Each structure stands twice: as structure tokens, then as C-alpha cells.
Amino acid sequence: MNKAIVSEKYPQFAEKLRALGYQTIPTERVSCYLPFEQDHADMQCFIIDDTAFVLSSCQRLATTLSKDYHVVLCDTPFSGKYPDNVKLNALLLGGRLIGRKSSLDDNVKEYCVARGYELIHVNQGYARCSCAIADENAVITADNCIYNTLEELNVDVLKIGQGRVRLEGVDYGFIGGASGYDKDAKTLCFCGDITRHRDYNLIRDFCDCHSTKIVSLTDDELTDVGGILFC
């Protein structure tokens, strides 16, 4: 993986990724979304295997990804309001797809069923936003519903407290929206300084247990940018 899909609303994060050797792919602005999520990668794109599912309104993103992936445009009409806005906001963990089943895009669900992925329902529509992946079977989340579901699935899951993640326009953002996991480099990158999070010591020890390196891209406040999608 040497590419990263990321919002450039806060350009310092993309700049740091490029300094680390990644080619960054900017997200687009989806005007029907709420202002604080209009440029979020995990709302515009979902990649699984050799296929990228992209909102049909994100034509530039789709064209860029078509160089490396088979692109499926998700063109079902939607209002952009929750839970209609989380069609591509799913967590891929091994052979499981975790998300709000009724809200996920039909193309994604059909693809997963045809290829033997298990669909796991959670009430939290922002499943991907809510989770920082620390390994193929290890997740960090502040969401109780996701925590309980993943525990039942024998996923190693660290429960942290809500807050301490900036998201303009609301009280706080999500830990997954402020991070991205490069599985090839076994590195969890954070948009901002993870050491400023009140549960940093727990997060550090959890990642150490999975031999996952932590990188704070900047010394800014931890910021929900819609996640970093390494590809």
C-alpha cells in the first residue's frame, strides 16, 4: 500500500503522509451531506479485495481509483441524512463486514454475500468511523454496541472513552475517523497527536500487544477527518 485516500480540509495531514512516502488521493465534497462530513473518505468510498465502491457523485475519485481497482458506482438516490448517508461506512475485519445492514449499499452487500463474507449487523451506522483498526483482528472503539458485538465475535477490542477527538460542528468525533491502518506496514496513523488522548496509554499498550506501530501525523489536536483509507 503506497496510496492514501484522505480529506484535504486539514492539509497538514496529507502533507505528512506524502512526506512518509504515500501518494495521497483527495476526497471530494458531497454537498448533500452534513457540513462536517462532506469530505469524509469513509463516507465516499469502500474498498474490498480488488473492488472500490464509490458514490456516483464522486466522479474524480472514481476515475483515480479505476487505475488500480474495479470501480462500482453506487448511484442509489439518497438524502444524505442519517441513516441514509452511511451506505459505504462499513468495517471490514477479516472475512466479516460489519455495519448497519439496512443502510449499506446493495452493491456492497451483494458483493460480500457472493464472495462468502459474513455480514454482521450493528445499530451504529458510522461503523467504520467508530473504529480504529490495530490489526486484522484488533479494534479500538468508544462505541458500546460495536464493542459488545466484536467481543461476541472473539475480536480483540479495546474500549476507550468518548471525546477528545475534534469534529467541527458537533461535540466530538470518532477515533476511526481520526486514523487509518496500513496493514502492510502494520502502522496505525493518527490525524493529530494521539498522546493527547486521555486513553493514550491504553491505546499504546494495545497496539504494542499487536506489534502495531503508532504514528501521530502532527502535534495538532486529534481530528476526525473521515479516516485515512490506505490502498
Residue 41 has pLDDT above 80, yes or no: yes
State the CB neighbour count (10 A cutoff) for residue 169: 9
In this predicted structure, what is the pLDDT of residue 1?
A: 76
Q: Could you read off the pLDDT of 102-121 as tens digits, one per residue?
A: 999 999 999 999 999 999 99
In this predicted structure, what is the pLDDT of residue 79?
A: 80
Fold exhibited by the domain 3-230: L-arginine/glycine Amidinotransferase; Chain A (3.75.10)
Note the pTM of the prediction, 2 decimals.
Answer: 0.97
State the CB neighbour count (10 A cutoff) for residue 201: 10
Pairwise CA distance, residues 128 & 107, whole Å: 17
Q: Could you read off the pLDDT of 189-199 as tens digits, one per residue?
A: 999 999 999 99
Listed by start position, the domains of the chain span: 3-230
